[in-house]
A and B are shown apart, each in its own frame.
Chain A
Amino acid sequence: MFSTVLEQFVNGIVTGSVYAIVAVGMTMIFGVLRAINFAHGEYYMLGTFGAWFAIDYLGLSYEASIVVGVLATVVVAYVIGQLVMRRMVGAPAESGVLATLGIALILQNAIIFVFGGGYKFFAGGYIEPVSILGFSLAQQRILILVVCLLVFVGLELMVTYSRLGMAMRAVSQNVDCCGVVGIDVPQVVLRTFILGAALAALSGVLTAPVNVSVYGGMGELITFKTLPIIIMGGLGNVRGTFFAAMILGVAESLVATYVGLQFRDTVGFATLILMLMWRPHGLFSTQARF
């Protein structure tokens, strides 16, 4: 009994790591832009497609495909950032919803148009299972866990010490004052956006070997999983997002085991609503950012 619970806990942590890497990008973008990015899952999809393309068409190794996938997404994100995201500084919430939905439609269906709508198989990665502490895990999942921890340590350091990180925090607190002290707000927004998109792409490439199937609409599901996480984590809060993702991962895993897999996708929003009843400002937010 106990070992089952522990195993499900570990499963949840691994799932949570995937969500965490995607969600942290989304939450940082929210921090600087005050817009919910409904297109965030599409960058996850783009990264996976880039890597799939590298392996299937260019014949590259999996390691190289990670680079290709992330770089391809960065290029796309740069274009979208320049054309769309920069202009969204100070725009009302509903414009953000519509614009990002528009981007999601364009990206998703452009991929379907170019590569065909059918699903593809992702070949590559380290899918051999290994046994740790009596649990059997694919090596790839351990890689995901490690990368997730590295990403979060890196982000903590970056947000605290680097120039961009400080600028991001400044922008998320007061856009007008940033202009006064000479912070180039659109530039910060652009860089944060590219960073967020690259992280989503990284998460996509890392999970592709265990998720196998690659198709144009795969990003939507991830967007829906990450939306409750970023709210629970306290919009714009990097550390909070990490814990919220882990909580959701574990909760989903336990619900799938003891209640039924069919309720899994509901867990995120159900937890979110319950949490909001209890703490309307998120679990980890130190101040109200709403």
Chain B
Amino acid sequence: MSLTETAQQARRRDYRIPLAAVLVVVALAAPFIGSRYVTHSLIIALIFMLPAHGLNLLVGYTGLLSLAQAAFFGIGAYTAGLLAVTYGTSFYVNLIASGLVTGAIALPLGIPALRLRSTSFVMCTLGFVIIGQAISKNWISLTRGDMGLSGIPKPYFELGPLSFTLSGTTNFYYLALIIGAMATLAAWAIVRSPAGRNMVAIRENEILAESLGVPTWHYKLIVFMISAVFAGVGGCLYAYYLSVVSPLTFQMYYSTTMLIIVLGGGAGMISGTVFGSLLFVGLTEALRITPELRMIAYGLCLLILVFWFKNGFAPLINRFWNAIGGAR
């Protein structure tokens, strides 16, 4: 959005608050509107949204194309799964632990990786996924190898004297919704802070940013870690929802899925990522009507996305935003 365009915008009616209210109501009522299958699809969208938010901070705001998200997603899933199965700790403990462990692992990985540029960086981050899978397969004493972790219990809470277990798809949906909303707010807060503007400066011109006194190296490293934390938290939800974690979690498929969500929704836009995760899950599930042609159609959609929606759905979302009265 250029400045002139925003200046010309006629602001007559502001529908943003009613719209937000409608969205909140729809999100809360979703399990009662659609079938359990719809609820399930929304949970999957929320689970993928978390690592996608992290990736959006990297790709969309800092300008670093990373494929490591699946590795951090897997580490988060394994952390939560192992804690839940071995120690039976509460859900929120495991959630925080997944985030912290993933962030801690991202630091030593990020230091060498971030020294690289463009294609080498992409391949290096892809390497993390491949090596992560090899470790999860062969470090049998910790990960149980290919047998995987199964029978991860339902989310269990212990708040002082109160303890309860959350079961059922609808309840899990609300749990995922709360975490998803918190993550979205967190991402929004990061982007809106001065740090967010520095990130954009690095994306636009790293050398210029550096010369203006932005500590680019620290920024990149911290953003890399934050994106890993988002992925780790997503991995925790994944482990609890599927109740199974296996080396298959470390797959490039997940990395590209997250990239598709971010770019499809529009990189560098928080609402774009939210929209992108819904769009991605909606699309892949809608394509199930033809199991044989499903992935072919999906591939075609990717090509359409690249050539006809160069910025994903960001322009559309922006227009919508303007149409309902928001300035930006």
Chain A contact residues, CB within 8 Å of chain B: 30, 36, 84, 87, 91, 93-95, 97-99, 101-106, 108-110, 113, 224, 227-228, 231, 235, 262-263, 265-266, 268-270, 272-273, 276-277, 280-282, 290
Contact = CB atoms under 8 A, between A and B. Distances in A.
Interface in B74-111: none
Nearest to B307: A87
B126 interface: yes
Contacts of A30: 119
Contacts of B294: 109
Contacts of A227: 123, 126
A106 B306 CA distance: 15
Contacts of A110: 296
Contacts of A36: 119, 122-123
B131 A269 contact: yes
Given A93-B118, A98-B260, A103-B299, A262 B137 contact: yes
Contacts of A224: 130
A226 B296 CA distance: 24
A225 to B, nearest CB: 11
A135 to B, nearest CB: 29
B295 A231 contact: no
Contacts of B65: 93-94, 97
A105 B299 contact: yes
Given A235-B119, A276-B120, A262 B127 contact: no
B310 A95 contact: yes
A108 B294 CA distance: 12
Interface in B298-326: 298-303, 305-307, 310
B53 to A, nearest CB: 17
Contact of B134 (A108, A235, A266): A266
19 contacts: A36-B122, A93-B65, A93-B122, A94-B65, A94-B267, A97-B122, A97-B259, A98-B259, A98-B306, A99-B302, A99-B306, A101-B256, A103-B299, A106-B300, A109-B296, A262-B134, A262-B137, A272-B123, A273-B124
Interface in B109-143: 112, 115-120, 122-124, 126-127, 130-131, 134, 137-138
| Most B-side CB within 10 Å, residue of A91, A103, A263, A273 | A273
Contacts of A87: 307
Contact of B123 (A94, A113, A228): A228
Interface residues of B, number: 39
Given A224-B130, A269-B131, A272-B127, A106 B299 contact: yes
Given A101-B256, A280-B120, 16 more contacts: A30-B119, A94-B263, A99-B306, A101-B299, A106-B299, A106-B303, A109-B295, A227-B126, A228-B123, A263-B134, A269-B127, A272-B123, A273-B127, A276-B116, A280-B116, A282-B120
Nearest to B134: A266
Contacts of A281: 120
Contact of A102 (B123, B259, B293, B299): B299
A270 B112 CA distance: 13
B108 to A, nearest CB: 12
Ranked nearest first, the 5 interchain pairs of A and B with the lowest CB-CB distance are A102-B302, A105-B299, A269-B127, A106-B299, A266-B134
| Most B-side CB within 10 Å, residue of A30, A101, A277, A280 | A101
A113 B293 contact: yes
A99 B117 CA distance: 21
Interface of B: 59, 65, 112, 115-120, 122-124, 126-127, 130-131, 134, 137-138, 256, 259-260, 263, 267, 292-296, 298-303, 305-307, 310
Contact of A103 (B115, B259, B303, B307): B303
Contacts of B310: 95
Contacts of A97: 65, 122, 256, 259
A224 to B, nearest CB: 7
Given A113-B296, A290-B118, A290-B119, A98 B302 contact: yes
A94 B302 contact: no
B127 A280 contact: no
Contacts of B263: 94, 98
B238 to A, nearest CB: 22
Nearest to A83: B303
A106 B118 CA distance: 26
A87 to B, nearest CB: 6
A269 B130 contact: yes
A157 B319 CA distance: 54
B112 A105 contact: no
Contacts of A99: 302-303, 306-307
A43 B126 CA distance: 22
A189 to B, nearest CB: 15
Contact of A265 (B116, B134, B293): B134
A280 B112 CA distance: 10
A201 to B, nearest CB: 20
Contacts of A109: 293-296, 299
A30 B131 CA distance: 24
A150 B259 CA distance: 40
A34 B297 CA distance: 26
A108 B126 CA distance: 21
B32 to A, nearest CB: 36
Given A227-B123, A263-B138, A95 B298 contact: no
B306 A228 contact: no
Contacts of B305: 98
Nearest to A269: B127
Nearest to A223: B252
